[in-house]
Amino acid sequence: MSVKIRSYEKRGKSGWEVDIRVKLPDGTVHRERVKSPLTSKSGSKSWGEQRAAELLLHRVESQATEKKKVPTLKEFEAKFMSYSETNNKPSTVYAKEVALRVHLLPHFGKMPLDHITPSEIELFKAKKLKEGQKAKSINNHLAILRKLLNLAAEWGELAHAPKLRQLRVDTQTVNFLNFDEEARFLAATPTEWYPMVFVGLKTGLRVGELLALRWEDIDLVAGKLIVRRTLWQKQEGSPKGGRHREVPLGDRVMSVLKEQRASTLLKSPYVFCDAEGQRMNHNMVTPVVPRICKKAGLSKRLTFHDLRHTFASHLVMRGVPLRAVQDLLGHTTLAMTLRYAHLSPDVTRDAVKLLDRETPAIRGDMVETGR
């Protein structure tokens, strides 16, 4: 930074011209020649130095502001998806890609991230409800948006992420077979599908977990299996929640699996495979359960996933604690298992009956003191 002073006289007027040179942080030089508002040389020199300092400060702040320009949602999308591909399962990455493309980008895509305010999010929610979207689906989209904004804030692209209020969702009901319907359902199950259907009913495994189940995951001596992987769009990955879980096997399941092993072990590493020993896929098993329901004369049209609901429902109806059901299903939170709580009516009744128990010593003390 340099400040030079020279006198001038023009049309009868005299004063001081200040020549200011300021070198900016990026290496460029800003030069400015101006007339001093002061009449003395020393005063003009001081004024020029102050002006140079102001110029430097202003340019530095301007450059900092330019560097911190907040990207739009569309501009930040690639970084977010790259992060997701590194840290999420393929099915989760796919869900995020669809939610962004179909729902979030059309509404928020052109907005800088700091323009995605709580009021703008409320407009999005209202719009999606008007379009007929279910509250649960909208909440799933909001969860993705929240993760994106939090990540942008964590990486310094956004000063802070706004709060997102999710929509209230009514308690979800589940479809399942009662005990009589289960008997009719199994009686109508074709021989070739019986092992997979029965194991699904008695272990609660998800469809992808059944399709990816290998004989190395099953211990027929100890009577247990380990869920280590799941299948999604021809890709095997870790099960939902990212954790392995152990599922004990009942005697009837053990018997079915032993017969299945005798017929498939030598031709395939997978427990459930096609006639050539190849791993099956979702398209092959999707129509199986609805067809069996129809054949059994059931009014319900269940899916393969509803066999998992049946497993959980029967456990609760038999008095198994919800915490144990949570572990068997592999739910990450107890809240996910609470949808089955209403199937255990004796729980609340038994809890109230505990109040009928009296402690004689305390009752005696109360009588003696006249309480």
8 in catalytic set: no
305 in catalytic set: yes
**Amino acid at position 159, single letter:** A
The alpha carbon of 176 is separated from its chain's Cα centroid by a whole number of angstroms, namely 26
Q: Which contacts of 104-107 are long-range, i.e. CB under 8 A and separated by 24 or more positions? A: 104/73, 104/141, 104/144, 104/145, 105/73, 105/74, 105/77
Phi, psi of 33 (to 5 degrees): -115, 120
59 in catalytic set: no
Catalytic one among 89, 96, 202, 206?
Answer: 206
SS3 41: helix
**Residue pointed to by tokens 């101006």:** 34
**Amino acid at position 265, single letter:** L
308 in catalytic set: yes
Contact between 109 and 74 (Cβ < 8 Å): yes
DSSP 167-220: PP-PPPP-----HHHHHHHHHTS-TTTHHHHHHHHHH---HHHHHT-BGGGEET
Catalytic one among 96, 308, 309, 314?
Answer: 308
Catalytic one among 89, 128, 202, 340?
Answer: 340
340 in catalytic set: yes
Interatomic CA distance for residues 310 and 292, integer angstroms: 15
SS3 319: coil
Q: Which two tokens stand for residue 16?
A: 């001081």
**Amino acid at position 271, single letter:** V
Buried b (16+ CB within 10 A) or exposed e, 235-254: eebebbeeeebebebeeebb
Catalytic one among 96, 107, 229, 331?
Answer: 331
Catalytic one among 89, 240, 279, 314?
Answer: 240
270 in catalytic set: no
Catalytic residue ranges: 206, 240, 305, 308, 331, 340
